[in-house]
């Protein structure tokens, strides 16, 4: 028997709700689409990409099998602690419940050991680490509340988006990498602290989508740099997030979805490499 189970609402209950941060575009959007297709109602979080967030909602609506499922957008700058603390309550106010959080939004700005500053560190730590912890804490409080109100089956789950480069380190994007390393440690500690009500799982992609630093040709060449001959696809990352959300037996660990890139050695971040620069 498989331990994989679809989130099924019982009679008179709405479909389960997931908050996906940074879901206006790119990987967050792909994750939102995959979850909506499989029965989740999605709280689409964005910071500045409102039009993209609205487009995501329109796309979710046409890709949602159950007409009872609703989706909604929520704006929040995750570097702002007060605004981040208000995010989960506003999702619960809208949907009446929250079952899962996918921490996908991330600041990804270049710095190095030479240009490192407290300001760069604080910016990445607030939005990439602190916000993920606050959202997990708020989900746990909500699940506890539901239990106290008699919903003994209430359970929550958090997925933290990490990065294969934690297992294959280089000093590029220094503050970003530190913030994800701290999030990986938080992933373990949160899993311990929030059990048994809330599971906490990391998903670590390899190079999946291109950045402004790479041309399309460079990205294609970098994407092939892996033991499997291709790094992760957005679809595989999104399906892994879904697996982590729905598999009731996983907590306190990370699934690497990277074509094995973490098994290789790269001296620079992909964004800083030329296609033939690898060991």
- The site for ligand NAP (CB under 6 A) is made up of 22, 24-28, 46-49, 77-79, 104-108, 127, 161, 163, 205, 207-209
- The three-class DSSP label of residue 178 is helix
Report the distance separating Cα 4 and Cα 87, nearest Å: 29
Q: How far is 19 from 126, CA to CA, in rounded Å?
A: 18
In angstroms, the CA 56 to CA 44 distance is 8
Max CA pair span of the chain: 60
Q: Minimal distance in Å, beta carbon 62 to ligand NAP? A: 21
Beta bridge partners of 203: 161, 255
CB closer to ligand NAP, 97 vs 123: 123
Min dist CB 100 to ligand NAP, Å, is 16
Measured between its terminal Cα atoms, the distance across the chain in Å is: 43
Nearer to ligand NAP, 55 or 147 (CB): 55
Q: CB of residue 218 vs ligand NAP: minimum separation in angstroms?
A: 13
DSSP bridge partners of 74: 45
Smallest distance, ligand NAP to C-beta of residue 122, A: 11
Rank residues 6 and 81 by Cβ distance to ligand NAP and give the closer one: 81
Task: Tell me whether residue 77 or residue 218 sits nearer to ligand NAP (CB atom).
Answer: 77
Helix axes 81-95 and 131-148, enclosed angle (nearest 10): 40
CB of 163 to ligand NAP, least distance (A): 4
Which of 48/220 has CB closer to ligand NAP?
48
Provide the β-strand partners of residue 253.
Answer: 201
């Amino acid at each position: 028997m498989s331990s994989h189970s679809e989130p099924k609402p019982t009679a008179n209950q709405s479909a389960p709700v997931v908050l996906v941060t940074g879901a206006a575009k790119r990987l967050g959007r792909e994750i939102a689409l995959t979850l909506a297709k499989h029965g989740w109602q999605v709280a689409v979080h964005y910071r500045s990409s409102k039009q993209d967030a609205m487009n995501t909602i329109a796309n979710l609506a046409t890709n949602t099998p159950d007409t009872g499922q609703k989706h909604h957008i929520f704006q929040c700058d995750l570097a702002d602690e007060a605004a981040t603390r208000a995010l989960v309550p506003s999702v619960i106010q809208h949907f009446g419940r929250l079952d899962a959080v996918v921490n996908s939004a991330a600041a990804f700005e270049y710095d190095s050991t030479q240009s490192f500053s407290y300001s760069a560190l604080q910016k990445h730590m607030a939005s990439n680490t602190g916000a993920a912890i606050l959202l997990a804490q708020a989900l746990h409080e909500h699940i506890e509340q539901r239990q106290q109100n008699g919903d003994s089956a209430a359970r929550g789950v958090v997925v933290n988006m990490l990065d294969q480069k934690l297992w294959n380190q280089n000093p590029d994007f220094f503050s970003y990498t530190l913030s994800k390393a701290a999030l990986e440690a938080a992933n373990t500690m949160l899993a311990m602290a929030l059990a048994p009500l809330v599971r906490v799982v990391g998903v670590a992609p390899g190079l999946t989508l291109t950045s402004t630093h790479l041309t399309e040709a460079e990205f294609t060449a970098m994407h092939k740099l892996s033991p499997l001959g291709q790094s992760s696809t957005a679809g595989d990352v999104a399906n892994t997030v879904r697996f982590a959300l729905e598999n009731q037996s996983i907590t306190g660990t990370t699934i690497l979805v990277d074509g094995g890139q973490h098994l290789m050695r790269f001296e620079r971040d992909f964004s800083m490499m030329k296609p033939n620069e690898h060991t």
